[in-house]
């Protein structure tokens, strides 16, 4: 795969293609950190499509040659990670005056990695979240994603394991960017 890509908001019609991208991305880019069993247990639950993000208009796809080669977004809702199948109950709306927005569900096709797709989707997500009144952004990052988010000013605040349905556990890192300082940093690097 080569060539240019474009980024646009994801639609419900894109869900099958996003769902197909996720295991390809996970197995191609996470295998150096997570075992096959961890990846298998996380695909579909921790790593899955959250249609609420699409419905909220806060999820993006990168498209090249009619293929979805990347996706990711942000959320004004309580859920930190996971697809539709991992949810139970209502996904309540956050209060920007006291809560952090969420950066969610970033996946890039391995053949399209390191071409700026994740960076551009993150930039758009941060711009939208800060523009919606949020002063902080939070993410639960994979161990592979931690370095990527650090480059954009996120700092690790907690490390923990997510239990998986197959009995394995997935180590993750909760990261934060924010407060007035975070917004100033965002403006200085993105404007």
Distance CA 161, CA 38 (A): 11
For residue 184, pLDDT beyond 90: no
pLDDT band at 179 (very low <50, low <70, confident <90, very high): low
Counts of helices then strands in the chain (DSSP H, E): 6, 7
Q: What is the mean pLDDT of residues 116-120?
A: 97
Domains of the chain (ranges; CATH) run 6-134 (3.40.630.30)
């Amino acid at each position: 795969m080569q060539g240019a890509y474009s980024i646009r908001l994801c639609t419900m019609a894109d869900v099958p293609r996003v769902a197909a991208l996720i295991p390809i991305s996970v197995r191609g880019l996470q295998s150096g950190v997570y075992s096959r069993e961890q990846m298998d247990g996380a695909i579909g639950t921790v790593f899955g499509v959250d249609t609420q993000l699409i419905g909220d208009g806060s999820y993006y796809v990168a498209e090249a040659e009619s293929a979805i080669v990347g996706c990711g977004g942000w959320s004004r809702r309580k859920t930190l990670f996971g697809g539709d199948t991992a949810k139970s109950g209502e996904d309540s709306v956050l209060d920007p005056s006291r809560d952090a927005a969420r950066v969610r569900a970033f996946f890039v096709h391995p053949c399209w990695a390191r071409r700026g797709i994740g960076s551009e989707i993150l930039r758009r997500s941060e711009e939208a979240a800060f523009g919606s009144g949020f002063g902080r952004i939070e993410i639960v990052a994979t161990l592979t994603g931690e370095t990527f988010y650090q480059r954009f000013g996120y700092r690790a605040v907690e490390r923990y394991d997510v239990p998986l349905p197959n009995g394995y556990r997935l180590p993750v890192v909760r990261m934060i960017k924010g407060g007035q300082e975070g917004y100033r940093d965002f403006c200085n690097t993105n404007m």
